[in-house]
Amino acid sequence: MNIHTALAELNPRAIIGGNNPPMPINPDAPSLIDRARSFYTILSTFLKSTPVIQTHDDAKQAANFIEQARATIGEIEDTRKSRVGPLNDEVKAINEEYRTPRETIQSLMDEVKRRLKTFADAAEAERRRAAEEARIAAEEAERIAREAEAIEADAKASADVGVCDVNVASAITQADRAFSTFVRAERTATRAENSIPVRLAGGMGRAVSMRSRETLVLDDPCAAITSIGLTEKVKDAILSSARDYRKLHGSLPVGVSAVTERQF
């Protein structure tokens, strides 16, 4: 069986002279998917048998295949849309049903978050100030402790060489007290620093707290592109912006040109 005969059996309207009124539906006729599979088998056979189009007849055959392929793809799309359309409508209706209450709650929650952030920012600022004061106090307590340790060391050294008017016991006691004060101040400063983030328990589970969210800022586009290089994503973004620029100004921006090629 040649390709023309196979096409005629697959779709009588795909060949010249086959544009007749549609025949009654045959329940035993192959399905659209089966006909599509048969068509791309025939098309694959043509491509294998005709690696190069050299004659006008080959060109006409290729043009016929293009028309048949377009018709088949169109029929597939029409059938797919006819089956998917009702489902999409149902999904759209379901989404619309829940969209309003969801968006309403979301907008109200966003306002609650805004007000809560104002409160948390003020609370964290106060805690940060207290933590800074505690850290300064801890640093001062450390300085005093180090001085007391130095005095203790000097007293012990003086006693070792026979100096009698040095109170070693008092120096040790003062150093121990200063060191204990420093340890307490250091713990207080650490607790204050760790407690800066505001955590609020709503009573339903995990506490609510603010999270840090990173936002990239494009400071120097040219420097960024030079560093990153012209990746496919960067190229696509530039060309997409160039199309928008042409719609607005009627011409492409400097550095972007258009190449027109003819194709079927």
- Is 158 exposed, middle or buried, given 0-12, 13-18 or 19+ CB atoms closer than 10 A? middle
Domain membership of residue 204 (yes or no) is no
Domain count, the chain: 2
Residue 90 has pLDDT above 90, yes or no: yes
Q: How many CA atoms lie within 13 A of 208 on its CB side?
A: 11
Domain membership of residue 149 (yes or no) is no
Query: Which residues form the domain of 254?
Result: 216-264
- From 74, 97, 120, the end of a domain falls on 97
In this prediction, residue 41 has a pLDDT band, given cuts at 50, 70 and 90, of: very high
- Is 218 exposed, middle or buried, given 0-12, 13-18 or 19+ CB atoms closer than 10 A? exposed
Residue 6 gets which letter from DSSP? H
Span 213-245, pLDDT tens digits? 899 999 999 999 999 999 999 999 999 999 999
Domain membership of residue 257 (yes or no) is yes
- From 71, 97, 123, the end of a domain falls on 97
- From 50, 66, 97, the end of a domain falls on 97
d(CA 108, CA 105): 5
Q: Tell me if residue 264 falls in helix, strand or coil.
A: coil
Domain membership of residue 150 (yes or no) is no
- Residue 156's pLDDT is what? 87
In this prediction, residue 27 has a pLDDT band, given cuts at 50, 70 and 90, of: low
Instruction: Record the tokens describing residue 54, joined without a space.
Output: 């050299």
| Number of C-beta neighbours around residue 10 at 10 A | 19
Residue 258 gets which letter from DSSP? -
